[in-house]
Amino acid sequence: MLRDRLREAGLGARVSVDSAGTGAWHLGDPADRRALDVLQRHGYDGSAHRARQFRAEWFASTDLVLAMDRDHLAHLHALAPDAAARASIQLFRAYDVDALTGGDLDVPDPYFDDHASFERVLSMVESAAAGIVGTLRNELTVAEAEGGEPGRG
């Protein structure tokens, strides 16, 4: 979904997006059928998604790591090899102005809930994605004006 938003904003060739979890659950499996249904209903194609586990060595080639909740954030901080890697980790909803105002930055896991929960989570993710796209566009514009590229990798 974020990849689609970045492509729509003309940033698809400049920003690489990947997905991985913090645990080894469902490794290699496709996304939950309910998630795929909700994504498809909203015009996204999640059919190629396969569950993977984030690896500490990925920090070396990653500028921004987005955690869906505080537990994931803590797990990623524990994996981070240094302060620069820890600084690259942010909560996904930290880019959603409404979430910042409301104070709850966790994206709830809808896995054990009903179909409507998947709809609510997609809405949260779409709101935050708009902020992420805006932030990345601004950072790339500033870096371009300064004659360089932002980030480490």
pLDDT at 153: 45
* Rounded Cα gap, residues 111 and 109, in angstroms: 6
Domain positions in the chain: 2-145
pLDDT at site 16: 95
Average pLDDT over residues 87-106: 94
Residues 6 or more apart in contact with residue 44 via CB below 8 angstroms? 1, 4
Task: Give bridge partners of residue 65 from the DSSP assignment.
Answer: 89
Nearest Cα neighbor of 23 from 87, 99, 109 is: 109
Q: Which of 29, 104, 109, 114 is catalytic?
A: 109
99: which 2 tokens? Answer: 């979430």
The angle at the Cα of 60, spanning 55 to 64, to the nearest 5 degrees, equals 85
- Write down the pTM of the prediction: 0.90
Could you tell me which CATH class the domain 2-145 is placed in? alpha beta
Residue 128 to residue 99: CA distance in whole angstroms? 8
pLDDT (0 to 100) of residue 36: 98
Residue 150 pLDDT > 80: no
Share of the chain above pLDDT 90, in %: 88
Respond yes or no: is residue 113 known to be catalytic: no
Of all residues in the chain, what percent carry a pLDDT higher than 70?
Answer: 97
Q: Is the pLDDT of residue 46 over 60?
A: yes
